[in-house]
Amino acid sequence: MHWLAQHALIVLGVLVTTLAVIFVLQQRRTAQSTAAWVLFIVVVPYVAIPLFLMLGFRKQGTRFPPVSLSMPVAGSIADSRGALSLAKLGALPATKGNKFTLHDSAQSANEALQETIESANDSLDVIFYIVAPDQTGKNFVDRLTEKARAGVKVRLNLDRLGSLKRPRAELKELQSAGGEVRYFSPFIHPPDNGHMNLRNHRKLVVADRARVWSGGRNIGDHYLGPKGRTWTDLSFCVSGPAVQPFMDVFASDWDVTGKAVTGAVRHQDGMPGGAVLQVIPSGPDEPGDTLYLALLTMIHRARRRVWISTPYFVPTEPLQLALSTAVRKGLDVRIMVPERSNQPTTDFARGSFLRHLQEIGASVLRHQGGMLHAKSGLIDDTGWVGSANFDMRSLLLNFEIAMFCHDKDSNSRLESWFQAQFEICEPGVAGASLPRRVVEGVFRLGAPVL
């Protein structure tokens, strides 16, 4: 009977592995991701299959219904050619008449954040991936608590994984003062009700449904702390018609955490500036991959330059091919990354991608000013800044949000920031020994699984 039990286990293992492979092949993924998961499942099925059940899913319509984005009012829609092309991919139309302020330092970002919070008289709607349990994080929650005690409706949505370490005592005080705190995608949930791999990486604060603070910065000393200790990052403030998509995204995310937004959410604040802006969210709550397609399309259509800043550079094969094509066409392609990021695995994974681009003529720039955390870019005359890294996780898995700028003034500020950062970069990626190239190749193959 012992041999019969062994035989049954082998047959069961083969059957489960086969079914898992068939399921992976039926999913809508990149070829790179599909190959990585299939290889992982076949080689170590007893490890890979449980991991796939926790980490391998992308779009989940029942758990994450599509975010309902309100169409801009007719008089606010911009007719920028670049914006119209992105709208054809599924993005909302760009709006004109916005006020856009870029924060190129931790000090300016922190001051703008405090002003946004203090300006709220009615509501504060907040999403963050990380609120650290350091002094900056505690001060942030304390200010929300003060506003809640003053009668402002405060709603704070935190990602459960990103805020695993958080200022717990201060958050309890916020709730005692009447503020509401929800956690996105908890670890413990029914099997069909979310997955650990799908994280909310968005960062935004909306005051009175009229003013937005957003970008790539989380809340903590690394992002907003004292000068000399902070990472290089970008955030921005917006008022005008472009506020509405941020409210729609917040309402959708809040609903997913178990409580629908009540009260009016329609933005009605005129046109306070001249910026032409287009908000593009992405994630499992988007039926397509609009942000990913927008970047891919813009790179293919580029005529002069492709400048990218990202802490983690692990592109899909189509994005890598698009960048390679841009280089071979003679475009000014610059990829700016930190000398070393805070994620060693992604540093290994990025090596072969960057080295290939450098070998065919791209400029790879290693930022020397500490950790570079800014997620932004300039492609010809269109810029963007937001929460999404230039990697597979941000563009195909996480909940993200990005702001695309189509006006000259906004992009001139972004260009000035890039030029200043280029001055503190070292050019090139060092050559790699054979063992390192092998390790980089392994991490590149496993990038979709990481």
The average pLDDT across 348-357 equals 92
Residue 244 CA to residue 72 CA, distance in Å, equals 8
Least-confidence region, from 60-64, 227-231, 441-445: 60-64
Reported confidence tier of residue 430, pLDDT bands at 50, 70, 90: confident
pLDDT digits (tens, 9 = 90+) for 56-109: 555 554 456 677 888 888 778 888 888 999 999 999 999 999 999 999 999 999
Q: How many CA atoms lie within 13 A of 90 on its CB side?
A: 17
**Predicted pLDDT of residue 432:** 73
Segment 29-44, tens digit of pLDDT: 666 667 666 776 777 6
| Mean per-residue pLDDT, 252-281 | 74
Q: What is the pLDDT of residue 226?
A: 84
Could you tell me the pTM of the whole model? 0.88
Higher-scoring residue by pLDDT: 233, 191: 233
Instruction: Look at residue 187 in the predicted model and tell me its pLDDT.
Output: 57
Task: Provide mean pLDDT across the span 324-339.
Answer: 98
**pLDDT greater than 90 at residue 18:** no
Pair 403, 99: CB distance under 8 Å: no
Q: Rounded mean pLDDT of 278-304?
A: 93
Between residues 6 and 372, which one has the greater pLDDT?
372
Q: Are 282 and 399 in contact (CB under 8 A)?
A: yes
How far, in Å, are 13, 162, 266 from residue 307 at the CA level? 48, 28, 35
Task: Provide the mean pLDDT of the chain.
Answer: 87
Q: How confident is the model at residue 265 (pLDDT cuts 50, 70, 90)?
A: very low
Highest mean pLDDT pick, 160-164, 432-436, 443-447: 160-164
At residue 25, the pLDDT reads: 67
pLDDT band at 262 (very low <50, low <70, confident <90, very high): low
Confidence of residue 264 (pLDDT cuts 50, 70, 90): very low
Which range, of 34-43, 249-258, 350-359, averages the lowest pLDDT? 34-43
Average pLDDT over every residue of 210-228: 94
SS3 (DSSP) at 338: strand
Instruction: Tell me how far apart the alpha carbons of residues 235 and 108 are, in angstroms, rounded to a whole number.
Output: 9
Name the residue with higher pLDDT: 445 or 414.
414
Q: Are strands 275-282 and 95-103 parallel, antiparallel or unpaired?
A: antiparallel
Tell me whether strands 235-239 and 180-184 are parallel, antiparallel or unpaired: unpaired
pLDDT tens, residue by residue, 115-157: 999 999 999 999 999 999 999 999 999 999 999 999 999 999 9
Predicted confidence band of residue 431 (pLDDT cuts 50, 70, 90) = confident
The whole-number average pLDDT for the span 350-365 is 95
pLDDT value for 12: 65
**DSSP 8-state assignment for residue 447:** T
Give the rounded percent of residues in the chain with a pLDDT score beyond 70: 80
DSSP 257-299: TT----S---------S-EEEEEEEESTTSSS-HHHHHHHHHH
Using the predicted structure, report yes or no on whether residue 340 has a pLDDT greater than 50: yes
Are 342 and 309 a contacting pair, CB within 8 Å?
A: no
Predicted confidence at residue 92, as pLDDT, reads 94
Q: Give yes or no for residue 363 having a pLDDT over 50.
A: yes
pLDDT given for residue 397 in this prediction: 85
CB atoms within 10 A of CB 227: 8
More confident position, 162 or 198: 162
CA gap 428, 437 in Å, rounded:
16
Residue 445: band (very low, low, confident or very high) from pLDDT cuts 50, 70, 90: confident
Q: pLDDT band for position 308 (50/70/90)? A: very high
pLDDT score, position 37: 67
What span, in angstroms and rounded, lies between the C-alpha atoms of 340 and 55? 26
Q: What is the mean pLDDT of residues 323-340?
A: 98
What are the Cα distances from residue 228, in Å, to 219, 222, 336, 375, 426? 16, 10, 21, 20, 20
| Per-residue model confidence (pLDDT) at position 449 | 57
